[in-house]
Homo-oligomer: A and B are copies of this chain.
Amino acid sequence: MNYKIKSLLAIFLIVGNYCVAQSNDQIVEDFESSSVNQPGHVYPMVNSEGRVRTQVFAPDAKYVKLDIGGVKYDMVKDAEGMWTGESAPQDVGFHYYQLNIDGASVPDPGTLLYFGACRWGSGIEIPSDDQNIFAVKDVPHGHVHEILFPSESTKTCRTAFVYTPPGYENQTSKSYPVLYLQHGYCENETSWPAQGKANLIMDNLIAEGKAKPFIIVMTYGMTNDIEFGKLREFDIIPFQTVLVDELVSYVDENYRTLSNQENRAMAGLSMGSMETKAITTNRPDVFSHIGLFSGALYAPEEVKEQSNVKLIFQSCGSKERPEAVQKSTEALKEAGINAVWYVSEGTAHEFHTWRRSLHEFAQLLFK
């Protein structure tokens, strides 16, 4: 049932450095539990406007705030010590957030935990019309392998996730192309398989016959080794060495890959797109299909020296810089390069933009 109530009061509070406006907007009372809650937890909930409502028991707290999308929303305590509060409507898709209890920033104990914003913390899923692309359906499912690979250059044993498509384990005579897929700044190798839903997007595309089955490899782009705000000083060479000289070799030795440039792609989101552009520029012999999601863009003159580029895919959310993506891609096309642009409607620099980007990009790969 979809009915409305008026919030009791229009309050305007200035708390600390944060200015929080709670207007008397009508809140649609059709909240349902978020799909990424911990087992058995009713809160947080999301309504059809995209508002997040959560609860936390903190009987002795002076204040509790819901901290999401760069805004802190005041929560209200009841007689038993339970705090409840709502955010303004959020964009569809996945968002990182946290609670603030008397000045302490902590995860909401109601949600599953995700690595983003440089921390393991709470996530919320705002339903979208196209969430079907990553739904768990009754189709054959691939596997996500957590692997530890040796890295001579860093003197460490490093983690990666390897998605193998349905049938990989028992069709032992078949070899597959490979996509190397990078997360963004302050995320890690878990981000694409967890909040990115990369495996489920692929399972569904393959079941519908829309994508060729391929392997996806996701590893840590060493983003935490640089300080906040020092992204411009980021040196690509250490990560390039790990990826191209160590991980590609490990994957080709341990998985049934088509181990040549024609069958190897690289893509990344945000900082991962910058890494993708830098590495595909430095090592044009390794990857033939390139995906840049919400970040770097290729100019025609930058592609010249690269041999055998089969595809450059560039994308972002409609709330980012869609004109720049379109313009840059049209220039590549005019220069005779097979280039495609995509804009995710109604989303910003967040994971729903990147899930959709992968969904589009995957359908163009290795064809």
Q: What are the residues of chain B within 8 A of A193 when measuring CB–CB?
A: 146
- Closest CB-CB distance, A93 to chain B, in whole Å? 21
- Closest CB-CB distance, A71 to chain B, in whole Å? 19
- Closest CB-CB distance, A222 to chain B, in whole Å? 11
Of all chain B residues, the one with the shortest Cβ separation from A254 is: B169
Q: What are the residues of chain B within 8 A of A38 when measuring CB–CB?
A: 119-120
Choose one: B103, B113, B172; the contact of A113 (CB below 8 Å). Answer: B113
Choose one: B60, B62, B109, B224; the contact of A106 (CB below 8 Å). Answer: B109
Contact A157–B141 (Cβ < 8 Å): yes
Tell me, yes or no, whether A234 is within 8 Å of chain B by CB.
no
Choose one: B40, B60, B103, B136; the contact of A148 (CB below 8 Å). Answer: B136
What does the 1/0 interface line of A61-84 toward B look like (CB < 8 Å)?
111100000000000000001000
The segment from A51-59, A305-313, A335-343 found at the interface with B is: A51-59
Q: With the chains together, A39 CA to B61 CA distance in Å? A: 29
Choose one: B103, B107, B143, B172; the contact of A109 (CB below 8 Å). Answer: B107
- Contact-residue size bin, chain A (C-beta under 8 Å from the other chain): 35 or more
Q: What are the residues of chain B within 8 A of A60 when measuring CB–CB?
A: 62-63, 102-103
Contacts A40-B224, A146-B144: A61 and B253 contacting too (C-beta < 8 A)? no
Q: With the chains together, A95 CA to B103 CA distance in Å? A: 27
Tell me, yes or no, whether A105 is within 8 Å of chain B by CB.
yes
Tell me, yes or no, whether A334 is within 8 Å of chain B by CB.
no
Of all chain B residues, the one with the shortest Cβ separation from A105 is: B109
Closest 5 CB pairs of A and B: A58-B104, A60-B102, A141-B148, A61-B102, A59-B103
Where the two chains meet, the residues of A that have a C-beta atom closer than 8 Å to any C-beta of B are: 38-40, 56-64, 81, 99, 101-107, 109, 112-113, 118-121, 136, 138, 141, 143-150, 157, 162, 169-170, 172, 188, 193, 224, 253-255
- In addition to A102-B102, A141-B149, 6 A-B residue pairs with Cβ atoms within 8 Å of each other are A38-B119, A60-B63, A60-B102, A104-B109, A136-B157, A146-B146
